[in-house]
Structure 1
Amino acid sequence: MIGTDRYSYRSRLKDVDPTAKLTVSLVSIVLCLGTGGMLASVTAILVFAALLYWKGGTPAGDFFRLLRVPFWFLVVGAVTVVLARFPDRTGVLWGAAIGGSVYGVSAASLLAGARLVVRALGCVASVYFTVLSTPVTDLLLALKRLHVPKLLLTLMELIYRFIFVLTETAERMRVAQQARLGYGTLRQSFHSFGTLLAMVFMRAYRRADRIYVSLEARGYEGEVQTLPPHYQSGRTVYLWCVGLTCAQLAAYLLERGLTPV
């Protein structure tokens, strides 16, 4: 197992109805984006980390380590928000005059960038709750219940299955190249890496053609049929959804100063 699969198959929540877990994630994403604040997203991150730890058995350290991956991409993307153009140096914390304007950073732009990053992390944490507790097969069954187009689901499943084939093929070829000292120098490394990409593409194409022929031989008609297992009731998860929604709305009201004194 690679990626997040090892967490989903080990999670104590993997046998719970995936539709309920997907609902919690979708509601949280809507609130993180709709409220426009930071506290609602921070609440989602902390609540999902606690649920995955206490109910799913996923270590909190692994959850936050996985959050670091999108965090740095978001920080780079937020640079365009933090750096802004100002008519003069009024309110500019740091900047440089270019032409007739000042380009720099202000307290308002820093706050806007931080709000953007935190809101996005809240959405990522919402997705992680489902991904880290639901195997892909069960997730596809939940999407099928929500009437996602069959063609899209079939493509998702085939692409997901083929990731493992490509990974295994690329790893074997790389080990063979290393055994032949294919990465001894920088020039050899570039040459070996280019050869690896080309050969993986060719072998993937041939493997995909063979898989499609085998599917047709087994009666494939545009949809991969999967028997749904017996899931545990998701009633408790729906209660978590109600509680999280109330907590996020309360955090939003608190941030806006709309709570009664």
Structure 2
Amino acid sequence: MLIVDQYAYSNQLSSVHPVEKMIFSLTTLLIALISNSIIVSVVVIFVMSGLLVLKAKIPKLVFLKLLLVPLSFIIMGLIPIIISVTTSKHDFIVQMSYWGLTLGISSANLITAVELLFRTTASVCCLYFLALTTPMIEINSMLRKLKIPAVFIEFMNLVYRLLFILLDTAHQIKVAQLSRGGYSSIKNTFTSLAYLGSNLLVKAYYRAKKLSLALKARGYKGKIEVLERDHHLSKRNLSIIAVTEIVLVIFSILVEVV
């Protein structure tokens, strides 16, 4: 089981109605995306992180490790925005010239990159709040109630489950390689990674095929039936969510005006 799935079932907010968590998460996400203020993004990051760590009781190190995964891709994506390449003179803060080309960092590009970094981090925190507090089964249930096509929901559910197969297969191959000294040197590391990559998809394909046969043997006809927990909407929670979002909207407007 993925670590995200483990905490989705065992966190201290698992008993809260999934609709409440989805409304709060997606509304805050929308505010973070619309707002152009770094301050608003920082507030969203602190609010979501605080709720996950203090209220849902997700361990700090676990949350930070999970956050580092998308952050690494975000930072790599920001590099082309920060660094400009030109053949003419430009007002750069830092610049280097090679073979007639000038690589530099301008203040405008740097500000844009910082804004995108905080905005995307705030968005990731909002999505992590939903993912770490709400099991996939309950998200599927909400999507059905929203009249999302069943084909889309089942496809999403099967792809999500196949991630477990892919990761478990990769783990088994890596353990086998480690037992044979596959990562004992830099050369062996690259060789082992090449073998892991070439064998992973083949083995994962056969395991996925076995999963498909197992589903058919159990009467799968395009819809996975699961038991769902009973939840009750809390007027108190909905009121807190409404007040929080209104305050956040007013705060974002005031920040932008100032």
What is the TM-score with the length of structure 2 in the denominator? 0.83
- Asked if 1:165 is matched to 2:158, the reply is no
- CA spacing shift, 1:80–1:174, aligned 2, 3 Å: closer
Q: Please say which of residues 126-135 and 9-18 is displaced more in the overlay.
A: 9-18
- Asked if 1:203 is matched to 2:207, the reply is no
Return the offset for 1:99.
9.3
- CA spacing shift, 1:119–1:220, aligned 2, 3 Å: same
- Residues 20, 237 of structure 2: 8 Å contact kept: yes
Percent identical among aligned pairs is 28
User: 2:212, 2:151 → 1: CA distance?
Assistant: 15
- Spell out, residue by residue over 1:48-83, the C-alpha distance to the aligned partner (whole angstroms, 9 max, x if none): 122223321223454344323322322222222223
Match of 2:113 in 1: 113
Ranges in structure 2 where 5+ consecutive residues have no aligned partner = none
User: 1:80, 1:179 → 2: CA distance?
Assistant: 40
Match of 1:36 in 2: 36
Does the residue aligned with 1:220 lie in a helix, a strand or coil? Answer: coil
Does the residue aligned with 1:132 lie in a helix, a strand or coil? Answer: helix
- Spell out, residue by residue over 1:190-226, the C-alpha distance to the aligned partner (whole angstroms, 9 max, x if none): 5554444444433333332232233223322211122
Does the residue aligned with 1:54 lie in a helix, a strand or coil? Answer: helix
Q: Please say which of residues 43-52 and 66-75 is displaced more in the overlay.
A: 66-75
Does the residue aligned with 1:104 lie in a helix, a strand or coil? Answer: strand
Return the offset for 1:33.
1.4
The amino acid of 1:209's aligned partner reads: K
User: 2:109, 2:248 → 1: CA distance?
Assistant: 24
Match of 2:52 in 1: 52
- Residues 137, 228 of structure 2: 8 Å contact kept: no
Match of 1:245 in 2: 245
- Residues 36, 256 of structure 2: 8 Å contact kept: no
Does the residue aligned with 1:233 lie in a helix, a strand or coil? Answer: coil
User: 1:232, 1:9 → 2: CA distance?
Assistant: 17
- Spell out, residue by residue over 1:88-147, the C-alpha distance to the aligned partner (whole angstroms, 9 max, x if none): 544x32234689996522332221111111111111111011111112222222222222
Q: Please say which of residues 246-255 and 30-39 is displaced more in the overlay.
A: 246-255
User: 2:182, 2:108 → 1: CA distance?
Assistant: 52
Q: Please say which of residues 120-129 and 80-89 is displaced more in the overlay.
A: 80-89
Ranges in structure 1 where 5+ consecutive residues have no aligned partner = none
User: 2:89, 2:234 → 1: CA distance?
Assistant: 57
- Spell out, residue by residue over 1:3-28, the C-alpha distance to the aligned partner (whole angstroms, 9 max, x if none): 32232222111122212211212111
- Residues 85, 103 of structure 2: 8 Å contact kept: yes
The amino acid of 1:78's aligned partner reads: L
User: 2:210, 2:108 → 1: CA distance?
Assistant: 57
Q: CA RMSD in A?
A: 3.0
- CA spacing shift, 1:103–1:240, aligned 2, 3 Å: farther
User: 1:188, 1:98 → 2: CA distance?
Assistant: 35
Q: Please say which of residues 73-82 and 185-194 is displaced more in the overlay.
A: 185-194
- Residues 11, 58 of structure 1: 8 Å contact kept: yes
User: 1:190, 1:103 → 2: CA distance?
Assistant: 31
Q: May I ask how many residue pairs the two structures share in their alignment? A: 257
What is the TM-score with the length of structure 1 in the denominator? 0.82
Q: How does 1:53-92 map to 2 (within 5 A)?
A: 53-84=53-84, 88-90=89-91, 92=92
Q: How does 1:96-111 map to 2 (within 5 A)?
A: 96=96, 103-111=103-111
